[in-house]
Amino acid sequence: MKVPWGKDLRTIEEDRLMELFDTPVAVTNYPKETMAFYKPKDTKDPKTALCFDMLAPEGYEEIIGGSERDTDIEELRKALEKEGENIENYEWYLDLRRYGSVPHSGYGMGIERVVAWLCGLDVIRDAIAFPRTMIRFRP
């Protein structure tokens, strides 16, 4: 499968990739242009961002996603401007970097996705304690 440079992986590409593995796989260094403004460029390859996705086998796709966070205010401004964002709306975020930021990273784990994969569940809803459905929108 050919995936053009600069295109984020979708479910179909993730599924095809994971047909080759029976354990989780970390995909790193996605194209910077497809990533959120706060993901910094990799100094070794500035076309890519310092980020990753953890993909699970058997059709469960992305279970964890993370990245370093950019602390360079000018790079953050450039990224926001490139996306057509109003910088004033992000001054609070830039202030976080301006007044005491340190190099740091973050990630998000889809707990229900991990549980569904570990338990071999067919439907992620079965991994959610209080799932919302058409007839159930309150616990």
The CATH number that applies at residue 128 is 3.30.930.10
Q: Are residues 7 and 60 in the same domain?
A: yes
Asked if 7 and 57 sit in the same domain, the reply is yes
Given a cut of 90, whether residue 36 has pLDDT beyond it is yes
- pLDDT value at position 15? 93
73-82 and 91-98 are packed helices; what angle lies between their axes, rounded to 10 degrees? 160
What pLDDT shows up at residue 7?
83
Q: What percent of the chain has pLDDT over 70?
A: 99
Average pLDDT on 82-94 reads: 96
> Taking residues 35-47, what's their average pLDDT?
96
Is the domain of 16 the same as that of 28? yes
How many structural domains does the chain have?
A: 2
Q: Are 53 and 64 a contacting pair, CB within 8 Å?
A: yes
Unique residue bearing structure tokens 């295109």: 7
Residues 57 and 79 in one domain: no
Are 62 and 76 part of one and the same domain? no
How far is it, in rounded angstroms, from Cα 44 to Cα 120? 38
The pLDDT value recorded for residue 138 is: 76
* Distinct helix (H) and strand (E) counts, the chain: 4, 6
Same domain, 57 and 123: yes
76, 90: one domain = yes
Whole domain around residue 77: which residue ranges? 71-102
pLDDT of 6 reads 86
Pair 15, 76 in one domain: no
Same domain, residue pair 9 and 57: yes
Q: Is the pLDDT of residue 137 over 80?
A: no
Let me know whether 48 and 10 are in one domain: yes
pTM (2 d.p.): 0.83
Q: What is the mean pLDDT of the chain?
A: 93
Examine the pLDDT at 52 and tell me if it is beyond 90: yes
Residue 112 pLDDT more than 80?
A: yes
Q: Residue 135, SS3?
A: coil
66 and 80 share a domain? Answer: no
Indicate whether 3 and 63 sit together in one domain: yes
Alpha-helical segments (H) within 1-139: 11-18, 73-82, 91-98, 111-119
